[in-house]
Amino acid sequence: MPFLEVNGLTKAIGTSFRLEPIDLVQAAGQRLAIAGATGSGKSTLLKLIAGLAQPDAGTVHLESARVLGADEKLLPGHPRIAYLSQHYELRHHYRVEELLEYANKLPYREALWIYDVCRITHLLQRKEHELSGGEKQRVATARLLIQQPALLLLDEPFSNLDRAHKTVMQQVLHDIGSELGITCLLVTHDPLDSLSWAEEILVLQEGRRVQQAAPQLLYRQPANEYVAGLFGPYNLFSPGLADAFAGTMALPASGRKALLRPEHLRLAPVSEPGARGIIQRLRYFGAHWEADVLVGNATLTVHCAQEQWRTGDEVSVVPQPDTLWFL
């Protein structure tokens, strides 16, 4: 049996939301993320996996043993599953070391290793109110890890973090898996935050599983527009425009809509074959520029590497080979 196995997990909340039967399998050590828009059911699914809510139907097994639902136990939860909520709490006025000692089941040297992995060793003497939000989150994570879980579930670990703290948390999560051997499963409304971490991402839309795949595949070959939008900007071509582009790439016409990311298009002089258009707007994003180009009655967004273009320029929009994705 796999490390974590979810079968037909279902839950209705009120009359307006229902988590449709969800199946999922996670191997030990596999870095898995669940992504979806606000209200798509991510937290509901995570709590069901943790045994903190009661499913209407379906089962969760961890290491071959069934995880009981919240109504089947006096104290909801599972000793081998740690759950880091978005609303974790640390006791006020205590030093970090005291907060951790209280929960620690490990010899001090082993605990110190976990504090290193969580990048909090330098914070041990600080009091709770002297920590930033990102530091508090890493202390809360360490407090869970010293209780020796096999599976760490994290609800939106990157929300409300600035870029620097987000990067540290991404490194911490990576090391929790690779150095401590603890399997992590996280949920996020912004899958871009976990692209570099996750080996696989399951996407939820209105309580349904719409796609599960490696991040590269989800990014380039999304199942629908909703998945495409979760992973950043995209151009949606009408069937007519898609077929025109397909022609420039020596692909057969399909009569279907197609999707292309802005970086899969480039601007070229009109002498190059492509779709003829006029630059309407240029935006600067540090590492690249982005141009809005009017092609027929569609506005395409195109990455451009240099500052060589001006608003009003007539250009050819050229797709990169093998990037057109038909929906």
Ligand X SMILES: Nc1ncnc2c1ncn2[C@@H]1O[C@H](COP(=O)(O)OP(=O)(O)OP(=O)(O)O)[C@@H](O)[C@H]1O
Q: Which residues bind ligand X (CB under 6 A)?
A: 13-14, 17, 36, 38-44, 189
In contact, 188 and 194? CB cutoff 8 Å: yes
- CB 185 → ligand X: shortest distance, Å? 14
Taking the least distance from each CB to ligand X, the nearer of 41 and 69 is 41
- CB 36 → ligand X: shortest distance, Å? 5
- Between CA 203 and CA 317 the distance in angstroms is 31
- CB 212 → ligand X: shortest distance, Å? 16
Taking the least distance from each CB to ligand X, the nearer of 210 and 251 is 210
- CB 314 → ligand X: shortest distance, Å? 43
Taking the least distance from each CB to ligand X, the nearer of 170 and 188 is 188
- CB 87 → ligand X: shortest distance, Å? 11
- Between CA 206 and CA 221 the distance in angstroms is 20
Taking the least distance from each CB to ligand X, the nearer of 41 and 222 is 41
Taking the least distance from each CB to ligand X, the nearer of 156 and 243 is 156
Taking the least distance from each CB to ligand X, the nearer of 25 and 37 is 37
Taking the least distance from each CB to ligand X, the nearer of 128 and 156 is 156
- CB 22 → ligand X: shortest distance, Å? 12
- CB 3 → ligand X: shortest distance, Å? 23
- CB 18 → ligand X: shortest distance, Å? 9
Q: In 3D, which of 240, 210, 239 has the Cα closest to residue 225?
A: 210
Return the CA Rg of the chain.
Answer: 24
- CB 72 → ligand X: shortest distance, Å? 20
Taking the least distance from each CB to ligand X, the nearer of 11 and 31 is 11
Return the HEC string of the chain: CCCEEEEEEEEEECCCEEEEEEEEEECCCCCEEEEECCCCCHHHHHHHHHCCCCCCEEEEEECCEECCCHHHCCCCCECCEEEECCCCCCCCCCEHHHHHHHHCCCCHHHHHHHHHHCCCHHHCCCEHHHCCHHHHHHHHHHHHHCCCCCEEEEECCCCCCCHHHHHHHHHHHHHHHHCCCCEEEEEECCHHHHCCCCCEEEEEECCEEEEEECHHHHHHCCCCHHHHHHCCCCEEECHHHHHHHHHHCCCCCCCCCEEECHHHEEEECCCCCCEEEEEEEEEECCCCEEEEEEECCEEEEEEECCCCCCCCCEEEEEECCCCCEEC
Taking the least distance from each CB to ligand X, the nearer of 145 and 161 is 161
Q: In 3D, which of 323, 284, 316, 321 has the Cα closest to residue 300?
A: 316
